[in-house]
Amino acid sequence: MNYILRRLLRAMLLLVGVSALCFLFTEMAPGSFFDEMRLNPQISPETIAALRSSYGLDQPLAVRYARWVNAALRADLGYSIAYNAPVAPLLWSRAKNTLLLTTCALAITWLISVPLGVWAASRRGGLVDRAVTLASSFVISVPELVIAVGLLALVVRWRILPVGGMMSADSDALSMLAKLKDVARHLALPAFILILCETSIIVRHVRASVLEVLGATYVQAARGLGMSQSRLLFRHVLPVAANPAISLLGFSLAGLLSGSLIVEVVCGWPGLGPLILEATLSRDLYLVIGGIMFSALFMIGGNFVADMMLIVVDPRIRKEGVDAR
Amino acid sequence: MARDHLIRVSDLSVTYCADEGMPIRAVDGISLEISPQEIVGILGESGCGKSTLAGALLRLLPPGAKSEGGILFRGLELMNLPEAELRALRGREIALIPQDPALSLNPVITAGVLIGEVLRAHLPLSAAERRQRVKELLCEVGFDRPEEIYSAYPHQLSGGQRQRIAIAQAMACRPGLLVADEPTGKLDATLQSEIIELLSKIRQQHGTAILIISHDPAILAGFSDRIAVMYAGRIVEVGSSAEIFGRPLHPYTQALMRIASSMITSAGVISRFPAIAGESPDPGCIAEGCRFEPRCSERMDVCSQRYPQTFLPEPSRLVNCFKYGE
Ligand SMILES: Nc1ncnc2c1ncn2[C@@H]1O[C@H](COP(=O)(O)OP(=O)(O)O)[C@@H](O)[C@H]1O
Ligand code: SF4
Ligand SMILES: [Mg+2]
């Protein structure tokens, strides 16, 4: 269908754009992996030059980008200088952990936000509504990093959860179930931080979109024909409010991914976050680019899934194949 | 009570209390009766309070609006009816056809389900019975192929088709009173007369009383039994359709009819009145005297001092103008 094709094309263009910008910015960024070697008198400039050319770093930007794209199409994202290993498998082993963290956080965030937002909107000005508004504006006004560090400090002090890594040192000896429980306990803190921050944003959006539909002329008209309050909410309001909420799903995934980079570093969760940070600090060029591309891929993929879900809920898109928004 | 009216509105007022600025008294002391099976037209310029009156009849006004007065429907005082009983009444006994069907139909629900929802709210029917009833209703409002329309979404329908869906919704439970707020407002001339024909047919077949609201006298001519002319929140004249069109008494009605007759001759879409000289008063700040006084060519000294009371120059005719008494 027309709509799907256009969304797919847009996703591709975004990926191309992100990768091109990545190359441009890393080129403009000061410093290189070999800076430290240059300071070492035992390594001759010739050796460094040879190394540079063996990684292809002596080529002009356009050539490097073309080579990278060509390789990336075959799932080869280049070679990490620091790890002395291909980038793609390295990233994938970490990306799995990031995906585990963000999908758990995403699912729970939405399981909380939707009922809470709908409840607040349908009893506007009530106790739940005021509590939600107040609590969410408090959480939003505090930077994510501060929340993460603060909660980490509490957890460390009270010794309620293990901190750092994603499983205990002795986990190999555990049974399958105990292993799962161990991972869950390590996951709890970073996931909680992400859920707290993201829920405070999403619940407000859900509330706002339900409120908007509640005030629509067609809801007033349905009320004028004698529909009950609950029927109005569930059959007439929520299906319409689902459209902006689903668009928000992609947006919330973006928020969670960028949030997870910080939270992973703070909590020592072995995901993409610490890897990208480390790679950036050591100027491990292709690892940085690959890491950013992985994040972008998740984000764009998430948005694409949200776009496809819209087809299911919005007949204006489904029937006409046009973008109704 | 003289006759057994279907609905009897007495001294009804609606005030919009905005957060900032003066409260707006959009409907100001309106009294009106409608008999069973009667078609009453409300005629007045845009902004004179017609839609507010319609909403007030169903006790369906935005949160900031306060209404006072009495609305007696089949012996039931609606002004102090609890919300649950009002809900049961809306759509079942009194049904509103809203002003703009492009906005008043839910965009993600099919036409058939939209009509079925009204049945569902009031009648204990099975899903299959409901579906059957909806198809009958679709035929009744003039669709040849109800199957197709049943599963169409509002954005796939034309303006005229949407208006028919709104009428089918309102007629679904065979209410005693239909309140039609500018049912032809957004349509071209041919569609206008089709909708009016449909409403006439509904009255004939089901004996539904209709309160039809319009800013266009041509719509009401030949359709309504009686007409109430509204100006700036008040009714200024009531009479039979023939009387209002043949021999209007109030200077405002007379001005309306002069414009209307010149417009009926020139066929075409009549969307808005060309202005009678001057503007209708801002409902936020209204002076003591007759509200039409600033625009009236026959004004007298007394007109600006107090509001003209209701005179009965002939039996069954009401007019608020000092030309007909002091
Ligand atoms: N929700 C509202 N809040 C405040 N004022 C309103 C509202 N709805 C209508 N009004 C005001 O009440 C007056 C009458 O409006 P309305 O009943 O819609 O007139 P009509 O249907 O005759 O065009 C207008 O001056 C309008 O500005
Ligand atoms: S009361 Fe006076 S100003 Fe008002 S319509 Fe009659 S003549 Fe005109
Ligand atoms: Mg109106």
Return the structure tokens found at A109: 């965030």
Q: Are residues A17 and A139 in the same domain?
A: no
Interchain CB distance below 8 Å, B88 and A226: yes
Query: Which of the residue ranges A31-45, B58-72, B75-89 would you say has the lowest mean pLDDT?
Result: A31-45
Q: Are residues A147 and A242 in the same domain?
A: yes
CB of A124 within 8 Å of a chain B CB? The answer is no
Q: How far apart are the C-alpha atoms of B217 and B109, rounded to whole Å?
A: 35
- When scoring A218, A225, A230 by the number of chain B Cβ atoms within 10 A, the one with the most, hence best to mutate, is A225
Residue of B nearest to A215 (CA): B62
Sheet with B226-231: strands ordered across: B94-97, B177-181, B209-214, B39-43, B226-231, B234-240, B317-319, B311-314
Which of B20, B42, B46, B52 gets mutated to test ligand 1 (max ligand atoms within 8 A of its CB)?
A: B52
Q: Are residues A110 and A14 in the same domain?
A: no
Q: Are residues A49 and A135 in the same domain?
A: no
CA B277–ligand 2 middle distance (angstroms)? 15
3-class DSSP assignment, residue B203? helix
CA neighbor of A109 nearest in space, from A97, A101, A121: A101
Q: Are residues A227 and A287 in the same domain?
A: yes
pLDDT tens-place values along chain A, 325 residues long: 678 888 889 888 998 999 999 888 877 777 777 777 777 778 888 888 888 787 777 788 888 888 888 888 888 888 888 888 899 999 999 999 999 999 999 999 999 999 999 999 999 999 999 999 999 999 999 988 899 999 999 988 988 888 888 888 777 777 888 888 889 999 999 999 999 999 999 999 999 999 999 999 999 999 999 999 999 999 999 999 988 888 888 878 888 888 898 999 999 999 999 999 999 888 888 898 999 888 888 888 888 888 888 888 777 776 554 443 3
Rg (CA), chain B: 20
Q: Are residues A48 and A96 in the same domain?
A: no
Interchain CB distance below 8 Å, B103 and A228: no
Interchain CB distance below 8 Å, A225 and B91: yes
H or E element in which residue B254 lies: helix B251-265
3-class DSSP assignment, residue A308? helix
Q: Are residues A100 and A47 in the same domain?
A: no
pTM, to two decimals:
0.82
Residues in chain A with CB shorter than 8 Å from the CB of B104 are 217-218, 220-221
List of residues 6+ apart from B241 with CB closer than 8 A: B41, B220, B221, B222, B223, B224, B225, B226, B227
**Domain end among A60, A86, A112:** A86
HSE-up (13 A, CA, CB side) for residue B39: 22
- Look at the alpha carbons of A12, A13, A14, A18 in this order and tell me if their dihedral is positive or negative: positive
CB of A228 within 8 Å of a chain B CB? The answer is yes
Return the structure tokens found at B166: 């709104």
Residues facing B7 on adjacent strands = B34, B73
B308 lines ligand 2 (CB under 6 A): yes
pLDDT confidence tier of residue B72, bands split at 50, 70 and 90: very high
B27 with B45: CB under 8 angstroms? Answer: no
Q: Which phi-psi region, left, alpha or beta, contains residue B21 (left: φ > 0; alpha: ψ -120 to 50)?
A: left
Which of B234, B299, B302 gets mutated to test ligand 2 (max ligand atoms within 8 A of its CB)?
A: B299
Q: How far apart are the C-alpha atoms of A70 and A87, rounded to whole Å?
A: 15
Q: Are residues A267 and A290 in the same domain?
A: yes
Identify the domain containing residue A127 by its residue range: 91-323
Q: Are residues A162 and A65 in the same domain?
A: no
Q: How far apart are the C-alpha atoms of B108 and B141, rounded to whole Å?
A: 22
Interchain CB distance below 8 Å, B96 and A225: yes
Q: Are residues A178 and A73 in the same domain?
A: no
Within 201-220 of A, beta carbons closer than 8 Å to B belong to 216-220
Closest Cα to atom 1 of ligand 2: B321
Count the domains in chain A: 2
Q: What CATH number is given to the structural domain containing A154?
A: 1.10.3720.10
DSSP B56-83: HHTT---TTEEEEEEEEETTEEGGG--H
pLDDT score for B283 = 62
Q: How far apart are the C-alpha atoms of A243 and A309, rounded to whole Å?
A: 9
A33 with A286: CB under 8 angstroms? Answer: no
In tens, the pLDDT along B183-219 reads 988 788 889 999 999 999 999 999 999 999 999 888 8
How close is the nearest chain B Cα to the Cα of A220, in Å? 8
In tens, the pLDDT along B243-290 reads 999 999 999 999 888 876 665 444 443 334 445 666 667 665 666 789
Q: How far apart are the C-alpha atoms of A197 and A143, rounded to whole Å?
A: 9
Return the structure tokens found at A39: 């300071």
CATH number of B7-82+210-324: 3.40.50.300
Q: Are residues A71 and A210 in the same domain?
A: no
In tens, the pLDDT along B5-53 reads 999 999 999 999 877 778 889 999 999 999 999 999 999 988 999 999 9
Nearest by CB: B108 against A221, A239, A320: A239
pLDDT score for A248 = 86
**Domain end among A29, A55, A86:** A86
Q: Are residues A152 and A298 in the same domain?
A: yes
